[in-house]
Chains A and B, each alone.
Chain A
Amino acid sequence: MKRFGFGKFLPLNSYMHTLDPRAKLVSVILLVISVFIPSSFYPFILIASLSIFAIFLSGLKIGFILRTLLKPLFFLCAFLLIVNAISLKRGSVVLDIMGFEVYSDALSFTSKITLRLALMLIFTTCLTATTKPLELTLAIEYILSPLSIIKFPTSDVAMMISIALRFIPTLSSEAGRIINAQKSRGVDFDEGNIISRVMSMLSLVVPLFTIAFERAYELADAMEARGYIPGEKRTSVHELAFRKRDFFLLLISLLVLVFMIYTR
């Protein structure tokens, strides 16, 4: 049962898929930082249009992004708005609901936070949807490699990250199975008092931990059986190649960051 969600790779043939993972990773980091810099609204226009361009280059559909990523964000936005409307009392009064005054700062603050989160989600999704987890690990390993001078185990860390990424879909499908099994035993995951809810969560978490440990032991054995030695120098089948277009991507992201800092 395939299910597309946040952080999953989509096997398409877009322009973004052809780019070097190192360039994409660094660019996303630069862009995400840029998203959190501006204090006024206008710079967001630049980044937002860039994000739409990025979605287009990744071969994703805008409607699809709206449905899967931004829908959950809507609830967060509503929640923030309520909290801010109660606590933030600066700026001018824009709304007066039976004596309860909503100030302009509450509105602008909420919309900025939401916008930032949305942009961050879009950029990271463009990265993960177009980059295989394996490529991403290679990129992380490459970027961390200068640290090996101070005896930092870069290849081990990269291996750990790639294994962790690899296990997310496995564990989430296991969780689905356990939830179903416990529902069949009368567990109601969204009803009941606090004690019965804690019990419900326990009936999910305990088996999930057991499975995770069992899988981890099996994987460790399998890796050893295939000759993996921790800390040993490893070579890769996948050679990364940096091309002109990758430099171009980095350059644009860097320019955006500089622009954001400059206009702040």
Chain B
Amino acid sequence: MAIHFEKLTYIYDRKLPFAHTALSNIDLDISEGKITAIIGETGSGKSTLVQHLNALLIPTAGSVDIGDHHVGANERNKNLKSLRRDVGLVFQFPEYQLFEETILDDVAFGPMRFGLDKKESYERAREALLSVGIDEGLFQRNPMELSGGQKRRVAIAGILSFDPKVLVLDEPTAGLDPEGSRRLIDLILDLNKNQNKTIIIVSHDNDMVYSYTDDTVVMQNGRVSYHGDTLSLFNDSALVEENKLLLPHIVHFKNLLSSRGFNISSSARTIEEIANEVSGRIKG
């Protein structure tokens, strides 16, 4: 599903004395089937932008098109439910949305709300839970008994269970231990590669963005200051500076290596890839 923002502006508390423009005149196309990162400082408008993808906020001016769905300012926006079924939104700290007595019930809640019958909802819930790595043995447990990382994965399963075509994740790895974030990233990559889901990740972690995303959108003060290939952004120090970004540690490491005569190819994006190149060079 292609996503297209057109001249979108959003103002909080429009009619009150402290009205605040969170997004101004955004024109943006997010490609289908890719992993796109949205980065930028706190308060730059990332979360506001993302909430438009689920019509949780309606534009003050302009519009957003997601596949066949259209949400515009001053229009009667119908069928929000079918939009929300196509775009799964995983909020920051999604574990707080768990409320059912058992894990399985909670994950089946979404599909049932979108009108699937009970049998199919539970079937999908099982599949989703297994796909995020929650064992059958835990299905009847209470969500509150789980660890932080497990809760997060159950919450994500609660979104995957209604099989959205686009998956939006707001700071998916925040507050997880390295092992937990590693598993979550593997899951996201797998969803993108094997189920061809369009993925949008809001993140502060530039290393994660550099290693795993195709495209990057940089937000600054409610505007888009860069949109394009992730590697070309971070490999160009002038662009990094211009967008007021922190250099990913991996890029810094690559620069250090190249200053010592080890030129690493610009497409190497993870520690493993760099290590392979270096060891190949030493052996050769």
Task: Contact check, B81 vs A185: say whether CB atoms are below 8 A apart.
Answer: no
Task: Contact check, A207 vs B96: say whether CB atoms are below 8 A apart.
Answer: yes
Task: Contact check, A183 vs B56: say whether CB atoms are below 8 A apart.
Answer: yes
In B50-77, the 8 Å CB interface with A consists of: 51, 54, 56
Q: Does A198 sit within 8 A of B, measured CB to CB?
A: no
In A133-186, the 8 Å CB interface with B consists of: 174, 177-178, 180-186
CB-based nearest B residue for A67: B15
Q: Which of A2, A174, A210 contacts B18 (CB 8 A)?
A: A2
Q: Given contacts A3-B13, A4-B16, A64-B17, is CB(A184)–CB(B99) below 8 Å?
A: no
CB-based nearest B residue for A202: B99
B18 to chain A, nearest CB (A): 6
Q: Does A108 sit within 8 A of B, measured CB to CB?
A: no
Task: Contact check, B81 vs A186: say whether CB atoms are below 8 A apart.
Answer: yes
Residues of A close to B13: CB separation below 8 A: 1-3
Residues of B close to A181: CB separation below 8 A: 89, 91, 94, 96-97
Q: Does A187 sit within 8 A of B, measured CB to CB?
A: yes
Task: Contact check, A184 vs B162: say whether CB atoms are below 8 A apart.
Answer: no
Q: Does A225 sit within 8 A of B, measured CB to CB?
A: no
A146 to chain B, nearest CB (A): 41
Chain A interface mostly helix, strand, loop or mixed?
helix
One digit per residue, 1 when the CB lies within 8 angstroms of any chain B CB and 0 when it does not, for chain A 62-73 equals 001001000000
Q: Given contacts A2-B13, A4-B16, A178-B96, is CB(A184)–CB(B84) below 8 Å?
A: yes
Q: Does B12 sit within 8 A of A, measured CB to CB?
A: yes
CB-based nearest B residue for A206: B99
In B158-195, the 8 Å CB interface with A consists of: 158-159, 162
Q: Does B88 sit within 8 A of A, measured CB to CB?
A: yes
Residues of A close to B15: CB separation below 8 A: 67
Task: Contact check, A187 vs B98: say whether CB atoms are below 8 A apart.
Answer: no
Task: Contact check, B97 vs A185: say whether CB atoms are below 8 A apart.
Answer: yes
Task: Contact check, A186 vs B84: say whether CB atoms are below 8 A apart.
Answer: yes
Residues of A close to B17: CB separation below 8 A: 64
CB-based nearest B residue for A187: B113
Q: Does A203 sit within 8 A of B, measured CB to CB?
A: yes
In the bound assembly, the distance between CA atoms of A187 and B18 in angstroms comes to 31
Q: Given contacts A203-B109, A207-B97, A210-B96, is CB(A185)–CB(B144) below 8 Å?
A: no
Task: Contact check, B85 vs A211: say whether CB atoms are below 8 A apart.
Answer: no
Q: Which of A2, A183, A187 contacts B54 (CB 8 A)?
A: A183
Q: Does A218 sit within 8 A of B, measured CB to CB?
A: no
B69 to chain A, nearest CB (A): 14
Q: How many residues of A contact B (CB 8 A)?
A: 24
CB-based nearest B residue for A211: B96
Task: Contact check, A184 vs B56: say whether CB atoms are below 8 A apart.
Answer: yes
Q: Which of B16, B51, B97, B162 contacts A182 (CB 8 A)?
A: B97
Q: Does B110 sit within 8 A of A, measured CB to CB?
A: yes
Task: Contact check, B91 vs A210: say whether CB atoms are below 8 A apart.
Answer: no
A65 to chain B, nearest CB (A): 13
A204 to chain B, nearest CB (A): 8
CB-based nearest B residue for A200: B113
Task: Contact check, B91 vs A184: say whether CB atoms are below 8 A apart.
Answer: yes
Task: Contact check, A180 vs B18: say whether CB atoms are below 8 A apart.
Answer: no
In the bound assembly, the distance between CA atoms of A129 and B109 in angstroms comes to 42
One digit per residue, 1 when the CB lies within 8 angstroms of any chain B CB and 0 when it does not, for chain A 109-140 equals 00000000000000000000000000000000
In the bound assembly, the distance between CA atoms of A3 and B109 in angstroms comes to 32
CB-based nearest B residue for A192: B113
Q: Does A188 sit within 8 A of B, measured CB to CB?
A: yes
A113 to chain B, nearest CB (A): 28
One digit per residue, 1 when the CB lies within 8 angstroms of any chain B CB and 0 when it does not, for chain A 188-204 equals 10000000000000110
One digit per residue, 1 when the CB lies within 8 angstroms of any chain A CB and 0 when it does not, for chain B 203-242 equals 0000000000000000000000000000000000000000
One digit per residue, 1 when the CB lies within 8 angstroms of any chain A CB and 0 when it does not, for chain B 93-106 equals 01011110000000
B15 to chain A, nearest CB (A): 8
In the bound assembly, the distance between CA atoms of A185 and B18 in angstroms comes to 31
CB-based nearest A residue for B17: A64
Task: Contact check, B51 vs A180: say whether CB atoms are below 8 A apart.
Answer: yes
In the bound assembly, the distance between CA atoms of A263 and B8 in angstroms comes to 60
B33 to chain A, nearest CB (A): 22
In the bound assembly, the distance between CA atoms of A180 and B159 in angstroms comes to 13
In the bound assembly, the distance between CA atoms of A188 and B16 in angstroms comes to 27
One digit per residue, 1 when the CB lies within 8 angstroms of any chain B CB and 0 when it does not, for chain A 40-78 equals 000000000000000000000000100100000000000
Task: Contact check, B85 vs A186: say whether CB atoms are below 8 A apart.
Answer: yes
Task: Contact check, B16 vs A180: say whether CB atoms are below 8 A apart.
Answer: no
Q: Does B114 sit within 8 A of A, measured CB to CB?
A: yes
Pairs A–B under 8 Å by Cβ, sample size 29: A1-B12, A1-B20, A2-B18, A4-B16, A4-B18, A64-B17, A67-B15, A174-B96, A177-B96, A180-B54, A180-B91, A181-B97, A182-B97, A183-B56, A184-B54, A184-B56, A184-B88, A184-B91, A184-B159, A185-B110, A185-B158, A185-B159, A186-B81, A186-B110, A202-B99, A207-B96, A207-B98, A210-B144, A211-B96
Lowest 7 CB-CB distances: which A-B pairs, in order?
Answer: A186-B113, A206-B99, A184-B89, A181-B97, A185-B110, A186-B114, A181-B91
